Amino acid sequence: MLSLKVPLKNAESVKKQLMKKELLDYGFKPKKEGAYLYFPIKNSVKIKSAELVEETFEKKEKQSYIANLPREIKEKLPSSFDIIGDIIIIDITKDIEKYEKEIAASLLETHKSVKTILKKSGIHEGEFRTQKLIYLAGEEKKETIYKENDIQLKLDVEKVYFSPRLSSERKRIYQKVRKGENILVMFSGCGPYVFTISKNTEAKHILGIEKNPVAHEYALGNIVLNKAKNVELVNADVREYLPKLKERYDRVIMPLPKEAELFLMDAFKVVKKGTVVHLYGFEHEDEFYKAEEKLASEAKKAGIKYRLLEFIKCGNYSPGKFRVCLDFKIL
């Protein structure tokens, strides 16, 4: 996995910088070899005196974030949880519910920058893909400021869909953007794609369209927070809004993995020769071919010709099922 190789004398200051940027991977143990310390990290980063290298690391035992619990309970603890800004969101299954207060207290104790622990109650659902969350410990709040790829996003983690697990995928996308591009982000949420692109590229203009009014309000606030100059946001249903657009975009991003293909016909209305489209979906590993089948069928109906550029697995959804992205170019 990705790692930073740091001379021992600089280890403490590099660790602080990694923690501040929320790049340290707490699931693995840093290791010492000779005069160097190796930190497991989530994303590539440039830090003075540190070298980016590939390394293997020992997984931290789950107990590291939990004190004084029976062993059979420790074994059932989730191996990971999301940290969004200063909020931890954890999945507590029925069989360990009895211990949730102790688990939450331990998480607060072991994560000094975290102020609030929430637990998931159900899955992302509804048109806005939001998730009910229950307060467990710390400060009683659901709003936070999250940092990634040199941007900040303010959001309510219950009223707005957001996944910190997609930060490297967002980086993959912004690294493809060329100077002067006009970009459309459908389903833009509180703005993770919009702002990572605005901050890290020389795109000319980025339009984000989001239907959830709460997500849209946060996204508007995030324009100010990120001092973004080339971002325009609209609170609308893409289906109603896209037909009104005269612009034909250089790049169209479709981060609605559940049934995004149903919006392809709408997306085809704003493409031109050379447009690159990033189409997300959920597919089982035995049926990855279905992602392209769905695209091929919609493109045929619309009389659109395309060339497939890349197929990327960009996250786990459930056992055997992945979040995938198809990149294709309009011909």
Ligand X SMILES: C[S@@+](CC[C@H](N)C(=O)[O-])C[C@H]1O[C@@H](n2cnc3c(N)ncnc32)[C@H](O)[C@@H]1O
- Name the site residues for ligand X (rule: CB under 6 A): 127-129, 161-162, 187-189, 192-193, 209-212, 215, 237-239, 255-256
DSSP class of 41: B
Q: Which lies closer to ligand X via its Cβ, residue 69 or residue 197?
A: 197
On whether the CB atoms of residues 275 and 251 are closer than 8 A, the answer is: yes
> At its nearest, how many Å lie between ligand X and the CB of residue 196?
10
Rg of the chain taking only CA atoms, in angstroms: 21
Distance (Å, rounded) from C-alpha 309 to C-alpha 331?
12
Of 48, 56, 38, nearest to 17 by C-alpha is 48
Q: Which lies closer to ligand X via its Cβ, residue 66 or residue 215?
A: 215
* Residue 148, strand partner residues: 151
> At its nearest, how many Å lie between ligand X and the CB of residue 315?
11
> At its nearest, how many Å lie between ligand X and the CB of residue 322?
15
> At its nearest, how many Å lie between ligand X and the CB of residue 238?
4
Distance (Å, rounded) from C-alpha 304 to C-alpha 281?
20
Q: Which lies closer to ligand X via its Cβ, residue 216 or residue 294?
A: 216
Q: Which lies closer to ligand X via its Cβ, residue 106 or residue 144?
A: 144
> At its nearest, how many Å lie between ligand X and the CB of residue 179?
23
* Phi-psi category of residue 260: left, alpha or beta, with phi > 0 → left and psi -120 to 50 → alpha: alpha
CB count, 10 Å around CB of 168?
A: 16
Q: Which lies closer to ligand X via its Cβ, residue 47 or residue 217?
A: 217
Which single residue brings its beta carbon nearest to ligand X?
189
